[in-house]
């Protein structure tokens, strides 16, 4: 990747709090205009890594360059060249919509002669025109989310960090928010987003899967689904599920088995060879099988397989 195309460079980044390692030797690069996702469960280290990249936390070791600035040596310069939206939106609920926009324009040092234009642009982008006088605390969560994004990008930063931006937001608002993210990426803005929603991660150009502070996989959603599974996947609809998953955990040729909704996802070396054998195996143990068929893995399947492998055991979810 050319240096001028690179937005974020991370080399063996570590953050420890006493004896606890929250971020454990993560290395990656992102390019201009890319939507890059950090995918992992709560407590995996995603937010800690984001705060280091935003110059809000000093790394214990390693190096991170954001927008051309070292996050450890030049945190203030980093903060002036990025937008940051935290999980809690960072808005002042006792201010009006327009007052929050003016406040953040000042915090981000938007030139005075550009403030009106930038605020008008943010209101248009967030679909909040005509709602300038509303108290921020009374806004529905989807509107508040869009306002927070508008505040974070008033200074037109080349890189935006969004930390769990759609947590607690309804599906329609979440989809609208991602439409905004794609619009900004199309204009050359690099968007770095953390999420624990597997379906949401599909919207990213590339993903880093994070588990217990470590990066367990890196690639496009398609690459991760094609290359990270050490076997093939079967969907099994059966009753009772609890008995079935416990039975399959100890079955020969079963690499992993987990409950997904009202069915099981079972990882085997060869789906074609194992379909009939597993059906007979379950029926012999008084499990009623209504459906068994090969399926393509989802990102959730990939994540479960990778984390179970790191634990060194088959682990039902």
Structure tokens at 160: 């935006």
**Per-residue confidence (pLDDT) for residue 2, from 0 to 100:** 46
26-30, 39-43, 225-229: range with lowest mean pLDDT? 225-229
99-103, 152-156, 304-308: range with lowest mean pLDDT? 304-308
Map out the domains of the chain with their CATH numbers. 3-225 (3.40.50.300), 228-311 (3.30.70)
Residue 234 near residue 260 (C-beta atoms within 8 A): no
Residue 192 near residue 30 (C-beta atoms within 8 A): yes
The dihedral sign for the CA sequence 126, 128, 132, 134:
negative
pLDDT of 222-236, one tens digit each?
999 888 788 899 999
Q: Is residue 300 scored above 90 in pLDDT?
A: no
Q: What angle do CA 207, 11, 61 make, to 5 degrees?
A: 120
For 102-171, give the DSSP string: HHHHHHTT--GGGHHHHHHHHHHHTT-TT-TTSBGGGS-HHHHHHHHHHHHTTT--SEEEEESTTTT--H
**Per-residue confidence (pLDDT) for residue 38, from 0 to 100:** 93
Q: Would you place residue 195 in the very low, low, confident or very high pLDDT band (cuts 50, 70, 90)?
A: confident
Cα–Cα distance for residue pair 272/291, rounded to 1 Å? 14
Cα–Cα distance for residue pair 47/20, rounded to 1 Å? 15
Q: Would you place residue 6 in the very low, low, confident or very high pLDDT band (cuts 50, 70, 90)?
A: low
Cα–Cα distance for residue pair 128/205, rounded to 1 Å? 28
Residue 92 near residue 136 (C-beta atoms within 8 A): yes
For 35-77, give the DSSP string: EEEEE--TTSSHHHHHHHHTTSS--SEEEEEETTEETTT-HHH
Q: Is residue 314 scored above 90 in pLDDT?
A: no
Q: Is residue 30 scored above 80 in pLDDT?
A: yes
pLDDT of 172-190, one tens digit each?
888 888 998 999 999 999 9
Q: Is residue 240 scored above 60 in pLDDT?
A: yes
pTM for the predicted model, two decimal places: 0.83
């Amino acid at each position: 990747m050319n240096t001028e195309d690179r937005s974020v460079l991370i080399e063996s980044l570590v953050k420890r709090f006493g004896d606890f390692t929250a971020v454990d030797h993560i290395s990656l690069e992102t390019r201009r205009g890319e939507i890059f996702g950090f995918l992992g469960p709560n407590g995996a280290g995603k937010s800690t890594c984001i705060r280091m990249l935003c110059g809000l936390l000093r790394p214990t070791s390693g190096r991170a360059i954001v927008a051309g600035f070292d996050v450890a040596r030049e945190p203030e310069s980093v903060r002036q060249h990025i937008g940051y939206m935290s999980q809690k939106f960072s808005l002042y609920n006792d201010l009006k919509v327009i007052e929050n926009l003016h406040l953040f324009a000042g915090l981000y040092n938007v030139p005075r002669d550009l403030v009106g234009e930038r605020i008008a642009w943010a209101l248009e982008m967030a679909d909040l025109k005509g709602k300038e006088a509303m108290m921020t605390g009374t806004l529905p969560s989807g509107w508040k989310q869009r306002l927070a994004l508008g505040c974070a990008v008033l200074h037109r930063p080349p890189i935006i960090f969004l930390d769990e931006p759609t947590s607690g937001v309804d599906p329609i608002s979440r989809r609208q928010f991602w439409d905004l993210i794609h619009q900004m990426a199309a204009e050359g803005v690099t968007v770095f987003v953390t999420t624990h929603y597997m379906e949401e991660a599909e919207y990213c150009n590339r993903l880093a899967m994070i588990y217990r502070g470590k990066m367990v996989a890196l690639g496009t959603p398609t690459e991760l689904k094609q290359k990270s599974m050490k076997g093939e996947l079967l969907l099994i609809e059966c009753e009772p599920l609890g008995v079935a998953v416990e039975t399959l955990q100890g079955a020969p040729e079963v690499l992993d088995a987990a409950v997904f909704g009202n069915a099981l996802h079972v990882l085997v070396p060869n789906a074609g060879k194992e379909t009939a054998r597993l059906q007979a195996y379950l029926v012999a143990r008084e499990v009623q099988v209504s459906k068994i068929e090969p399926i393509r893995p989802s990102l959730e399947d990939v994540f479960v397989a990778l984390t179970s492998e790191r634990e060194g055991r088959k682990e039902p979810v």
